[in-house]
Amino acid sequence: MIDLHCHILPGIDDGPATLSEALDLADAAANAGTKIVAATPHLRDDHPGVRIEELADRCARMNRSIADAAIPLRVVPAGEVDLLWACRASDEELRLASYGQAGRDVLIETPRDMLPPRFEEHLFGIRARGYRVLLAHPERSRSFQQHPEQLRAFVEHGVLLQVNAGSLTGPRAASRSRALSRTLVREGLAHVVASDAHTASGWRPPSLVDAVAEVERIGGGASRLVSDWPNAILLGEDLPRPARPRARRWARRPRARGAAF
């Protein structure tokens, strides 16, 4: 399995504070069957410890420590990119934030609250710069919970969606994130399931096993979401079997402020 969203680098954002904690996270991921992890520290103003020019070296050092600990896991550089950060980033900075620093695919963070004005305009501005966008955990957004039809429009315009494993397996009662994540999987709109792990256990652990079981229970095809399509994203290739939204559509609701579609 491949985990495209993981805060594994120690001491730079809200992930593990120490190398020891980072190795515990790596060991937990490997023990759960994950082979590759994308290190995706927050690239936004409230995490000044994340310096884009240091990411490749930090990942290289993390890989050396993982190898020394005999953990069968490989870390590749990327970032969880705030959309406004991406808009003002130089071409080189945006490349360094992309998966494998290859300049092809970038993980854009979805705000948890309502979407800010011009979110869609800015998002498609990143696509206009030649990037395929993977939208991180849209199921957590209050805007998308209220207006899920916007996500279908995004997918129809080439945006990929990453659902958090914990959203799929979270508490049933009053969980809007759980309901939307399951709908995205069921309707064929989700492209990636990732851990968004910050610690080895407890809050957002790195295991994808329970989420894989839930995807299979909902509608099958879990290997696409945790292996085939994540691998294609790392390689910058077309998805082997592109997800096509199924015919069912949500009832249209009034557009949220700033909605483009």
Give 146-186 as a 3 state SS string: HCCHHHHHHHHCCCEEEEEHHHHHCCCCCCHHHHHHHHHHH
In a domain, 243, yes or no: no
Q: Please report the DSSP string for 183-238 in residue order.
A: HHHHTT---EEE--B-SSSSSS-S--HHHHHHHHHHTS-HHIIIIIHHHHHHHTPP
Within 13 Å and on the Cβ side, how many CA atoms surround 3? 35
175's tokens: 């969980």
Whether residue 252 is contained in a domain is answered as no
User: In this predicted structure, what is the pLDDT of residue 204?
Assistant: 82
For the segment 83-126, what is each residue's pLDDT rounded down to a tens digit?
A: 999 999 999 999 999 999 999 999 999 998 889 999 999 999 99
Q: Would 227 be classed as within a structural domain?
A: yes
For residues 104 and 135, is the Cβ–Cβ distance under 8 A?
A: no
Span 244-253, average pLDDT: 49
Question: CA torsion angle for 176, 135, 24, 57 (degrees, to 10)?
Answer: -160
Residue 231 has pLDDT above 60, yes or no: yes
The reply to whether 259 falls in a domain is: no
Close Cβ partners of 89 (under 8 Å, ≥ 6 residues apart): 52, 81, 97
- Provide the number of structural domains found in the chain: 1
Query: What is the predicted pLDDT for the residue at 239?
Result: 86
CATH number, domain with residue 12:
3.20.20.140
Above 70 in pLDDT, residue 142? yes
Q: What is the DSSP pairing of strand 42-43 with strand 160-164?
A: unpaired
What are 11-21's pLDDT values in tens digits?
Answer: 999 999 999 99
For residue 98, the SS3 value is coil
Nearest to 255 by CA among 94, 107, 143, 88: 143
Q: What are phi and psi of 18, to 5 degrees?
A: -130, 165
Residue 143 lies in a domain: yes
pLDDT at residue 73, as a whole number: 98
Instruction: Label residue 184 by pLDDT band (50, 70, 90).
Output: very high
Residue 201 has pLDDT above 90, yes or no: no
Residue 49 phi, psi (nearest 5): -70, -15
pLDDT of residue 260: 33
Task: Report the distance separating Cα 230 and Cα 160, nearest Å.
Answer: 11
Confidence of residue 34 (pLDDT cuts 50, 70, 90): very high
Domain residues for the domain of 90 are: 2-235
pLDDT classification of 261: cutoffs 50, 70, 90: very low
Mean pLDDT of all residues in 239-252: 54
pLDDT reported for residue 79: 98
Confidence class for position 258, pLDDT limits 50, 70, 90: very low
Q: What is the amino acid identity at position 94?
A: L
Predicted confidence at residue 203, as pLDDT, reads 73
Determine what percent of the chain is predicted with pLDDT higher than 90: 85
What sign results for the dihedral spanned by CA atoms 201, 194, 83, 180? Answer: negative
Return mean pLDDT, the chain. 91
Of residues 171 and 149, more confidently modeled:
149
Average pLDDT over residues 173-200: 92
- The pTM of the full predicted model, rounded to 2 decimals, is 0.91
Beta-bridge mates of residue 197: 6
- Rg over alpha carbons for the chain, rounded to the nearest Å, is 17
In which band, very low, low, confident or very high, does the pLDDT at 183 lie, cut at 50, 70 and 90?
very high
Ranges 35-44, 67-76, 81-90, 198-207: which has the least confidence: 198-207
- Phi, psi angles (nearest 5°) of residue 176: -70, -35
Q: How confident is the model at residue 171 (pLDDT cuts 50, 70, 90)?
A: confident
Return the half-sphere exposure (C-beta side, CA atoms, 13 A cut-off) of residue 257: 6
What is the greatest pairwise CA distance in the chain? 55
